Amino acid sequence: YMNHRLNTRTTGAYSFQNAFFYLQWDDDDAVYELDDPVAANLVTMRKTRRRSKLHPHKQRSKYICRPELTVEAGNHFVWEFEPGHNTLNVPADAAILHHYRICEFGGDDCIKTASVVDKTAYRYKDVLATAVGAQYDRLKTRCDLAELRLPQARVFNKLMSLLNAGQR
Task: State the pLDDT at residue 101.
Answer: 95
Q: What is the mean pLDDT of residues 42-71?
A: 96
DSSP codes of every residue in the chain? -HHHH---TTEEEEEE-EEEEETTSPPPGGGGG-S-HHHHH-HHHH--EEESSPPPTTSS-EEEE-GGGEEEE-SSSEEEESTT-EEEE--TTT--EEEEEPPTTSSSGGGGS-EEE--GGGGGHHHHHHHHHHHHHHHHTTTTPPPP-PPPPPHHHHHHHHHHHHH-
- Residue predicted with more confidence, 4 or 39: 39
- Segment 115-134 mean pLDDT: 98
Question: According to the model, what pLDDT value does residue 106 have?
Answer: 83
Mean pLDDT of 18-44: 94
Domain ranges of the chain: 2-167
